[in-house]
Amino acid sequence: EVQLVESGGGLVQPGGSLRLSCAASGFTFSNYWMTWVRQAPGKGLEWVADIKDDGSGEFYVDSVKGRFTISRDNAKNSLYLQMNSLRAEDTAVYYCASLHLTWGQGTLVTVSS
Amino acid sequence: QAGLTQPPSVSKGLRQTATLTCTGSSNDVGYQGAAWLQQHQGHPPKLLSYRNNNRPSGISDRFSASRSRNTASLTITGLQPEDEADYYCSAWDSSFGGWVFGGGTKLTVL
């Protein structure tokens, strides 16, 4: 079964950091670009970042550039999102996805004092 | 990084056909086509089709997608109560190298 499972979300104060993880199974992870997408409460979907299948290139939405870093470990079938200098507007459910294959169940990040 | 345009809501009767639209530009929908996602309240998005009408395994053939220039469409035939959900389109935007999403369409099955 193709599956993505996120972890690492939680409550963090403004200016703080969190690292999200995503464990992939059921498909050849190293063959796929991977993506983080977020959804603020009651809002639509917003693309956050992409990483090439071999990790050689990363792409970000303007609002997170310089604060978030996407990375992957193909040996561990894992995707990561390091989030620094978090702001209230980063509060959302964060989904790990291979956009033409499958999505994870999401992990909630709440930025609040 | 402008988004794709979807109507906020569509209402159709049971067993009828609904067609949802997604309008973009030559840089996104018109470039490589669109993907469609279904999201029920409180659940993650579920991929229905990608690159216009490629359906993942397990997706009913009641869902079919198409594209005409810069507008993508999702047609759902024989509407069922479980089809009531939010539907999102997405496309790769070649102008900035990232994904754009539509604002979503809430489908109500009467």
pLDDT at B1: 62
Quickly state the pLDDT bin for A44 (edges 50, 70, 90).
very high
CB proximity B35 to A under 8 Å: yes
Residue A80 β-bridge partners: A21, A71
Distance CA A32, CA A29 (A): 6
The average pLDDT across B63-80 equals 96
The average pLDDT across A82-99 equals 97
Whether B52 shows a pLDDT value over 80: the answer reads no
Quick one: CA dihedral A45, B74, A102, A97, positive or negative?
negative
Whether B3 shows a pLDDT value over 90: the answer reads no
User: Are the C-beta atoms of residues B89 and B4 closer than 8 Å to each other?
Assistant: yes
CA distance A33 to chain B (A): 12
pLDDT at A19: 98
Whether B101 shows a pLDDT value over 90: the answer reads yes
Chain A residues with CB inside 8 Å of B44's CB?
95, 103-106
Distance CA B110, CA B99 (A): 33
Whether B65 shows a pLDDT value over 80: the answer reads yes
The average pLDDT across B49-66 equals 90
The average pLDDT across B30-51 equals 94
**CA-to-CA dists, residue A13 to A50, A95, B42, B83, angstroms:** 26, 21, 25, 39
Distance CA B61, CA B19 (A): 14
Whether B37 shows a pLDDT value over 70: the answer reads yes
CB contact under 8 A, B90 and A45: yes
CB contact under 8 A, B103 and A44: yes
Identify the weakest region by mean pLDDT among A15-19, A28-32, B52-56: B52-56
Mean pLDDT of chain B: 94
The average pLDDT across B53-59 equals 88
CA atoms within 13 Å, Cβ hemisphere of B82: 3
Chain A residues with CB inside 8 Å of B45's CB?
45, 95, 97, 103
